[in-house]
Amino acid sequence: MHKAGFVNIFGKPNAGKSTLLNALVGEKLAIISPKVQTTRHRITGIVTEPGYQIVFSDTPGIIDPRYRLHEKMMGAVKSALEDADVALLIMDAKDRVEESLELFDSLKLKVNRILVLNKTDLLKKEELAALKARCEAWGKAPVIAISAMQRVGIKELLEQIVARLPEGEPFYPEDTLTDKSTRFFVAEIIREKIFHLFEEEIPYHTTVVVSQFQEKETLTKISAEIVVTRETQKAIILGEKGKSIRQLGTLARQDIEKFIGRKVFLELFVKVRSKWRDNDTYLREYGY
């Protein structure tokens, strides 16, 4: 019997959704940073093994606890979760447990769900036992303790997911890792480095567009535009004598080379588009 299904990863910002997606797929697909709202798109990661295929989605961190009572938003999240075969409710083991359980409760989910305690590498043994007991007492989902970062508990989690998958044929050919293009991942890698290198509002005012992607004989030539909203932001990204953008280029190139498995020549340009975040034409052009 072959099993196949869709699994959504849901949790508060920074719970570790993107890190878990990467751990499950065994590849770096989703960008990770300690800042909230790093993930802007739904990223699909596909795991195909003999006997099953799972299509995972990493949801953007749209759930801000401050807006928890915002019904419309919760409605959208809920219906996305109910569309899946299994919902992974992930919480940061260091976070306030009652608050997370209350958030999960408020969804009133009917779909199969698993409560995933992440970042358990940060807890002492007794702390973990107490947390697990509290979550098991909640009683609305089986509880699995993991460390997405250290890849601990992933196998057990996969087993629990597979046990809840419906019977069915695979949705994608077996070598498919994701439904997104290489260009998309290249832009995401550059965006991740911007999150790491620049402070405050800059990452949130920036988007990245890959304008050229050419496979040459010995390397891949990539040009990308970094779009910001103000001249002052452009100056910061360039840095003194271009120092910052060179650093950004080097870090991004190294990761892109790892991702595509080829040498890369990367060219970065910075463009100012004062209203890109409010302009529908730009948003479409930039893939939102």
Contacts with K ion by CB under 5 A lie at 14, 38
Q: Is 175 annotated as a binding residue?
A: no
CA dihedral 190, 191, 193, 197 (to 10 degrees): 130
- 149 interacts with ligand GDP by CB under 6 A: yes
Token pair, residue 90, equals: 């992930």
Give the pair of three-digit tokens for residue 72: 């419309």
Nearer to ligand GDP, 19 or 48 (CB): 19
Q: Which two three-digit tokens encode residue 89?
A: 């409710």
Closest CA to 60 of 43, 83, 74, 35: 43
Nearest to ligand GDP of 41, 234 (CB atom): 41
- Whole-number minimum distance, CB 253 to ligand GDP, in Å? 22
What is the DSSP annotation of 185-232?
HHHHHHHHHHHHH--TTGGGG-EEEEEEEEE-SSSEEEEEEEEES-HH
Nearest approach, Cβ of residue 124 and K ion (Å): 25
Question: Does 203 participate in binding ligand GDP (rule CB under 6 A)?
Answer: no
State which of positions 35-94 bind Mg ion (CB under 5 A): 39
Residue 20 buriedness (CB in 10 A; 0-12 / 13-18 / 19+): buried
C-alpha to C-alpha distance for 39 and 32, rounded to whole angstroms: 8
Among 5, 8, 10, 18, indicate the residue that binds ligand GDP (CB under 6 A).
Answer: 18
Give whichever of 39 and 207 is closer to Mg ion, judged by the CB atom.
39
Residue number with CB closer to ligand GDP (14 or 206): 14
Out of 3, 78, 119, 191, which residue is the one contacting ligand GDP (CB under 6 A)? 119
Q: From the list Mg ion, ligand GDP, K ion, none, which binds 15 (C-beta under 5 to 8 Å, kind-based)?
A: ligand GDP
Residue 147 in the binding site for ligand GDP (CB under 6 A):
yes
Q: Which residue has the tokens 């947390």?
A: 131
Residues annotated within a binding site for GTP: 11-18, 58-62, 118-121
Residues annotated within a binding site: 11-18, 58-62, 118-121
